[in-house]
Structure 1
Amino acid sequence: MSAERAGRPRGRLGLPRAHFRRLGSTNEHARALAAAGAPHGTLVTAAEQSAGRGRQGRTWSAPPGRALLCSLVVRSLPRLLPLAAGVAVASEVGATSVAAEHARLKWPNDVLIDGRKVAGILVEGRPQEGWAVIGIGVNVAVRPEELPAELRERAGTLGLTPAAIEPTLARLLERLEEWLEAPDAAILDAVRARDALLGRPVSWAGGSGVGAGIDDDGRLLVATASGRVALDAGEVHLGA
């Protein structure tokens, strides 16, 4: 499948850009480009994915042309890269949504509005080779009835039109540029301000407890019956 040369977003991020009408996975394509030496800021976008992936090997599906689906190659790797990317997406979702004040981050990288997931981030890479790929999916214009039945209780949408996808992408790239250069303290403050798990019952493969904040290394703190634990990876669910 050949790529289309698409409009160039402002700023250093987003250049060069390869846009596909249909692609298996933007992350997989961006990873291949990165491994082949693609420069910092290279962007892969698609109107539709046939094999989009989320965290823990889950699939990310959306009707063609109704979601923002992109992956960005970065060669500047801040210590808190996944959290910085999450803050950038949450900031844009919050500014775009009519429910801006309700945009929250579910550690490590889901963006929720009123408890429903409207965006997800998947960061993959090879730090030893000096690159990472930030994969982002945002339900910009997905209609609720288009969501898979098993996701309708947990997934949400910004409720915009397909015409809003490109402007949303342009603003998101600007926010990523800002947050990827932000100091750790600013990133942590922003994550803590949007923490969807704080004070909420949570569970994960190793136990359950109550969300107790984010530590200075970006780990999720959980208060359990046997004391406080810090999680640095894995899937965390709301509810005990």
Structure 2
Amino acid sequence: MSGALGHPRLHHRSIGSTNARAQELAVTGAPHGTVVTAREQTAGRGRQGRAWTTPPGTALAVSVVLRDPPPLLTLAAALAVADVAVALDRERREPAIKWPNDVLLDGRKVAGILAEGRLQEGWAVLGIGLNVAVDPAALPPEVRERATTLSRDPAELERALELLLEALGRWLDVGDEDLLAAYRARDALLGRPIDWSGGHGTAAGIADDGRLRIRTGTGDEVLLDAGEVHLGALPR
């Protein structure tokens, strides 16, 4: 997928959801690469219908309109966020990715990623919320212990946006083989015991189609393509 990301750009001082606005634009023919950003997002959404909080002026809230999105879009998005973390994280922590797209620094989530769209019409909207300058103490109690930040200055939000869009553009143009290799190198679940709605087992890596491979206690392999997974207890 070629084409620069970030033009045109619609920026809001405050908005309910950048993803919702970007979807409205996509339906009316907005070109590939159109971006919606906001200083404050009041009704952001993450995976599984969770709310995503964006404190004013401290986190990126960006949604990108993508025409003919690739099947491994969310994996590419996670790698792009990881690249930004490598470049900007003040503590120099190494990013890991909890399938499918939770980017972690020391086990805590630094970004939310949500892809929505109408694939039958050839478009998707990719929403990313990235904690660039967030004070974790200012987050709601229910997410405070699970979230982290890059600990940058709010003045660096625009730089973070530029880096993110550049990285996303690169990963969207990378072939599946190279993308999967890079993703597997950051796999936070590999070899870990996990639970999901259908049972429990051990994460055994990422399949070529982006699904999560799980080895059950009976030696069978299960492939997950959606839903929530949770880390089980570590073996002693």
Same fold (TM over 0.5): yes
Is 2:14 the counterpart of 1:14? no
* Secondary structure class of the residue paired with 1:48: strand
Q: 1:37 aligns with which of 26, 29, 40?
A: 29
The 3 A distance-change label for structure 1 pair 125 and 190 is: same
Shift in Å at residue 199 of structure 1? Answer: 1.4
| Amino acid aligned to 1:35 | V
What secondary structure sits across from 1:51 in the alignment?
strand
| CA distances 1:93-125 after superposition (whole Å, capped 9, x unpaired) | 122114445201111111000000001210111
Residue in structure 2 matching 1:234, options 216, 221, 227: 227
The superposition leaves residues 6-26 of structure 1 with CA deviations (integer Å, 9 ceiling, x where unpaired) of xxxxx7210000000110000
1:53 aligns with 2:45: yes
Amino acid across the alignment from 2:147:
A
Q: Which runs of 4+ in 1 moved over 3 A?
A: 98-101
| Unmatched runs of 5 consecutive residues or more in structure 1 | 1-10
**Residue type of the partner of 2:225?**
D
User: In structure 2, what is the Cα distance between the partners aligned to 1:91 and 1:239?
Assistant: 28
Please report the TM-score for the alignment, with normalisation by the length of structure 2.
0.94
The structure where strand makes up a greater share of residues is 2
1:239 positional shift? 2.2
Match of 1:71 in 2: 63
Given that 1:99 and 1:113 are in contact with CA atoms closer than 8 Å, whether structure 2 keeps it comes out as no
**Structure 1 residue 111 and structure 2 residue 122: aligned?**
no
Residue 219 of structure 2 is aligned to residue 224 of structure 1: no
Q: Secondary structure at the match of 1:234?
A: coil
Distance 1:203 1:32 in 2: 37
SS at match of 1:50: strand
The two structures have a TM-score, normalised by structure 1, of 0.92
Matched, 1:133 2:125: yes
Of 151, 160, 164, 1:172 maps to 164
Deviation at 1:144, TM superposition (A): 1.8
Contact 1:198/1:213, CA 8 A, preserved across alignment: yes
SS at 1:202's partner residue?
A: strand
What are the equivalent positions in structure 2 for 1:155-194 lying under 5 Å apart? 155-194=147-186
Give the 3-state SS of the residue equivalent to 1:82 in structure 2: helix
Q: How many pairs does the alignment contain?
A: 230
Q: Distance in 2 between matches of 1:65 and 1:169?
A: 13
Question: Could you tell me whether the CA contact under 8 Å between 1:92 and 1:175 is conserved in 2?
Answer: yes
Decide whether the 8 Å contact of 1:20 with 1:45 is kept in 2. Answer: yes
Contact 2:54 2:61 in 1 (8 A): no
Residue pair 2:59, 2:130 contacting (<8 A) in 1 also: yes
Partner of 2:198: 206
Which residue of 2 is the match for residue 7 of structure 1?
A: none
* TM-aligned CA deviation for residue 139 of structure 1: 0.6
Q: Match of 1:205, as an amino acid?
A: S
Once the two structures are superposed, what CA deviation does each residue of 1:128-171 show, in whole Å capped at 9, x if it has no partner?
Answer: 11100010000110112112111122111111111111101001
Q: How far did residue 127 of structure 1 move?
A: 1.0
* Distance in 2 separating the partners of 1:160 and 1:199: 33
